[in-house]
Amino acid sequence: VMDSLAAAIPSTLWLIELKQSGGNLLINGLATDNQSVAEFVRSLSRSAHFKNVELIESTQADEKTGPFKKFSIQSGISYETSTTADGAPSPSQAAPKEKSKS
């Protein structure tokens, strides 16, 4: 799950806080612009680990943090998956099965 999360983060976006409660995850962070936030939401949505990804809030951050967008995203988490973050089969499922020698 953490690998999928890290792979989804654009270079112009920073995570400030992650809160997990049951099967849900709340992500708070800063981004240079709304496009970075939208890209992050799309990337999470494509991952098999994140379900029902929803942008809760995106606002202009206060002046002391700089010209950033502050955002909150909520998502369900799935720990069981048979695909990687890009939708490809996991290595254990993609590997060919050995033929039994008789």
pLDDT in tens, the chain (102 residues): 888 999 999 999 999 999 999 999 999 999 999 999 999 999 999 999 999 999 999 999 877 767 899 999 999 998 875 555 555 555 444 444 444 454
pLDDT at residue number 88: 55
- Residue 56: domain span: 1-65
At residue 94's C-alpha, the angle toward residues 43 and 3, to 5°, is 35
pTM beyond 0.95: the answer is no
H helices, E strands: number in the chain: 3, 4
Return the bridge partners of 21, or none.
24
Q: Report yes or no on 5 lying in a domain.
A: yes
Q: Report yes or no on 41 lying in a domain.
A: yes
Per the structure, the count of domains in the chain is 1
Q: Report yes or no on 71 lying in a domain.
A: no
pLDDT at residue number 53: 96
pLDDT at residue number 49: 93
| Phi-psi category of residue 64: left, alpha or beta, with phi > 0 → left and psi -120 to 50 → alpha | alpha
